Structure 1
Amino acid sequence: MRKLLVTAVLAAAGMPAVAQAQGAPAQPGIYLGIEGGLNWMFGTQIRERYVSPYTGWGAGGTIGYDFVGPRVEVEGLFRQNTSSTYFRPGAAINNQISQVSVMANVLYDFRSFGSFIPYVGAGAGVAFVDAYYQLHSTVFAFQGILGVGYEFAPGFRLNIDGRYYGTTNPYYLGSAWSNNNISLMATVQVKFGASAPPPPPPPPAVAPPSFMVFFDWDRSNLSQQALATIGQAAAAFKAKGNARITATGHTDTSGPAAYNMALSLRRANAVKDALVRNGVPANVITVIGRGEEGLLVQTGDGVREPQNRRVEIVIQ
């Protein structure tokens, strides 16, 4: 089972190659966690006798820093398994095997699946294991971790993982014994300084209502279609309640520039008069003549372009 630890270490070493695949947004920060779960011991041989401890439990906590992808943490965990094996009256190992571990863990989150975050990790540290009368057998501890997390709210996460946890051989009454464990742990993790979800984007700017009235060549009189459009503009003004109107006249590029400037102004005034007849107060209407400037369709000089012979009505 110690191959699991080697696999986790090799996977962690290869994390930079995978980092570019991570796409879920997150913020770095310090986190705290509380954890608990089940512990199974296997292959346990003490003083030439095989021991089969019952399913035990574990509980502890973590403090770490999330770099968004890599994580490092310090973990303290207490494990206990009961056993029917009896060695010597009063010895702590009778009927139960207890161990306390303090581990430094290095983990990596695969942030490519939205709120679900698979992760792998490995850890090393020190453990204090039952020996004669108390927890005084100090040994080197190591573990490999494979799990998945779920971020159910900003800064809050639930982890479920499986672990192989082992130590160098503790001693009991002068004899070394093997210590191998499989743990299934659940952790509730809280990250501090995690940013709140970004605010929704501002609504797009709404352009003021606008209308276009078109004219025949070298004319400023209004067609029936133009009068209908001006009626719509007047209705939009009345619906707005409190607004101003700008009527900007344009011409095409045929004819002299000075003549076109005067023609554009006549067209704008014709539209103003029609708006007034439709109930729009004259004092809210501004008239502008631009002549050949502001072409709707770009043309050369001397071109009769119908789209450029127009008045633009803007309600603000």
Structure 2
Amino acid sequence: MKKTLLVACAASALSLFAVNAQAADVTPVADSSGFYVSLFGGASFLNDVDAVQHYDSPSPDYDYTLDTKMGYILGGTIGMRVWDPLRAEVEVSYARWKADSYSGQNDDGGDKFSGDASGHVSATYLLGNLWYDIDTGTSFTPYVGGGAGVAWVDASTQFDDSDDYGYNDGEVGFAFQAGAGVTFDLTENIALDVGYRFKGILGVDFDARDSSDTEPYEHGDLYSHNVQAGVIFKF
């Protein structure tokens, strides 16, 4: 369901901008200083978050998976054109997802278990991005690119009604993204931006709800699919 909704949103947004670009006879924007700022928001779909509770032998380790509902992403960028087709920018963004369910199994082949989960997982990104603009000679400009940086991950989740189990406080991890989109010039200084971003955060450890009595959840990777729209202000 998540993938179907994601594809539908992306296809609808890109089709709308393609039609506008073909129908409109807008003169390409004049040269500017190259600096710009942008604001954006959209829907975010987080893949299942897998993590491991490691116990000393002879106790087995436990593998956990947290499933979340569709979330949201909000953010902004400051950037400049460093070369005719190439833009560099700094992005600060925030994503949040509501917990839905969990499952787990110990690694000695024990029975699987699962249940409802409550609470949320969130991430604050600080990324340096590079985007390559594809000049079409019109106000319609596709682009591709990506970036890397760090992300601060936090969580406050609860598995079933247990006070002991659930992903809690996270940590800082390496983050990256890759994406593509289109911009559509409204005026010489304002453009609309619709795009897709695949974001990842690697190797995050989460405290357990009762960190004094329960082992942490280790080596969690957060991968998300994001469909976003925003406004670019050029200077």
Give TM-score, length-normalised by structure 1.
0.48
2:228 corresponds in structure 1 to 185
The alignment covers a number of residue pairs equal to 164
Long gaps (5+) in structure 2: 1-27, 53-62, 104-116, 156-166, 208-215
Corresponding position of 1:197:
none
Amino acid at match of 2:206: Y
Matched with 2:180 is 146
Per-residue CA deviation, residues 213-252 of structure 1 (Å, 9 max, x unaligned), is: xxxxxxxxxxxxxxxxxxxxxxxxxxxxxxxxxxxxxxxx
Tell me the residue number matched to 1:104. 128
Q: Structure 1 residue 52: deviation in Å?
A: 1.8
Alignment-derived partner of residue 66 in structure 1: 81
Equivalent AA in structure 1 for residue 46 of structure 2? M
Q: For 2:44, which of 39, 47, 58 is the aligned residue?
A: 39
Q: Is the 8 A contact 1:147 1:161 kept in 2?
A: yes
RMSD of the alignment, in Å? 2.2
* Match for residue 156 of structure 1 among 163, 169, 190: 190
Which secondary structure does the structure 2 equivalent of 1:111 belong to? coil
Contact 1:86 1:94 in 2 (8 A): no
Letter in 2 for 1:130: D
| Structure 1 residue 130 displacement after superposition | 1.6
In the aligned structure 2, how far is the partner of 1:26 from the partner of 1:182? Answer: 34
Aligned partner letter, 1:34 = L
Higher relative contact order (CA 8 A, sep 6+): 2
| TM score, norm. by length of structure 2 | 0.64
Q: For residues 177 and 121 of structure 1, what CA distance do their matches in structure 2 show?
A: 25
Q: Is the 8 A contact 2:67 2:102 kept in 1?
A: no
Determine helix, strand or coil for the equivalent of 2:171: strand
CA contact (8 A) 1:86 1:95 kept: no
Cα deviation code 1:90-123 (max 9, x no counterpart): xxx9521100000000001112140000001110
Partner SS for 2:203: coil
Matches within 5 A, 1:1-316: 26-27=30-31, 28-47=33-52, 48-67=63-82, 68-85=84-101, 94-131=118-155, 133-134=168-169, 136-173=170-207, 174=216, 175-192=218-235
Q: Give the counterpart letter for 1:183 in structure 2.
A: N
Note the C-alpha offset of 1:49: 2.3
Worse overlay, 72-81 or 38-47: 38-47
Per residue, is there more strand in 1 or in 2?
2
Distance 1:153 1:51 in 2: 45
- Aligned mates of 2:48, 2:153 — CA distance in 1: 16
Where structure 1 has 5 or more consecutive residues not aligned to the other structure, the ranges are 1-23, 88-92, 193-316
Structure 1 residue 85, shift from structure 2 partner: 3.7
Q: Show structure 1 runs of 4+ deviating over 6 A.
A: none
Shift of 1:82: 0.3
2:29/2:139 contact within 8 Å kept = no
Name the CA distance, whole Å, in 1 between partners of 2:225 and 2:97: 12
Which residue identity lines up with residue 82 of structure 1 in the other structure? Answer: K
